[in-house]
């Protein structure tokens, strides 16, 4: 029998595979539906145009009450809110999460964040944070969102 989180995820998956096939591809990585990979390409007319990226979503049984853990896999965009370990500094993934949000809205927000960039750079504390964070969930940190900088 499916849990409440799994039922919600099943509905979201069906919506995404019908409505967003031109924007991104979704793969469920396990039978429980609790780990997804969402792939997309940087938007045309941006500094990330044509560059392929993959996000990993890990859901917990309290989804959508609690946010999923979202990180980049493989190739990480060189963006001031994306660390070289794939962690993303974006308030909707942490403090500003709302149960009304969906996987598709998170992906669209991340695409928008990338599209608004005017130059490629890592966060100022990238090396220090990435080595410190190794092996820990991005949700285990107290992110500070000041002036849209992390």
Domain count, the chain: 1
- Domain assignment of residue 107, yes or no: yes
Q: What is the CATH number of the domain that holds 123?
A: 3.10.110.10
Q: Is 145 within the bounds of a domain?
A: no
Lookup: tokens for 20? 């967003």
Catalytic residue positions, numbered: 89
148 found inside a domain:
no
**74 lies in some domain:** yes
Alpha helices by DSSP H, 1-150: 4-19, 103-115, 126-133
Q: Is residue 146 part of a domain?
A: no
Mean pLDDT of successive 10-residue stretches along the chain, which has 150 residues: 92 96 93 95 97 98 98 96 96 96 98 97 93 91 69
β-sheet with 69-73: strand ranges across: 24-28, 35-41, 52-58, 69-73
Structure confidence by residue, pLDDT tens digits, 54-94: 999 999 999 999 999 999 999 999 999 999 999 999 999 99
11 in a domain, yes or no? yes
Q: Which residues contact 146 (CB under 8 A, 6 or more apart)?
A: none
CB distance 38 to 57 below 8 Å: yes
């Amino acid at each position: 029998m499916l849990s409440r989180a799994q039922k919600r995820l099943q509905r979201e998956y069906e919506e995404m595979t019908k409505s967003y096939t031109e924007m991104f591809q979704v793969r469920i990585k396990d039978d429980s539906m609790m780990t997804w990979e969402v792939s997309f390409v940087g938007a045309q007319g941006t500094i990330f145009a044509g560059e392929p990226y993959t996000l990993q979503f890990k859901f917990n049984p309290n989804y959508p009450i609690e946010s999923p853990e979202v990180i980049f896999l493989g190739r990480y965009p060189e963006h001031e809110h994306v660390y070289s370990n794939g962690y993303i500094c974006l308030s909707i993934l942490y403090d500003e999460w709302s149960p009304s949000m969906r996987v598709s809205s998170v992906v669209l927000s991340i695409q928008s964040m990338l599209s608004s960039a005017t130059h490629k750079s890592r966060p100022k504390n990238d090396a220090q944070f990435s080595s410190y964070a190794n092996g820990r969930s991005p949700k285990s940190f107290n992110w500070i969102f000041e002036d849209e900088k992390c």
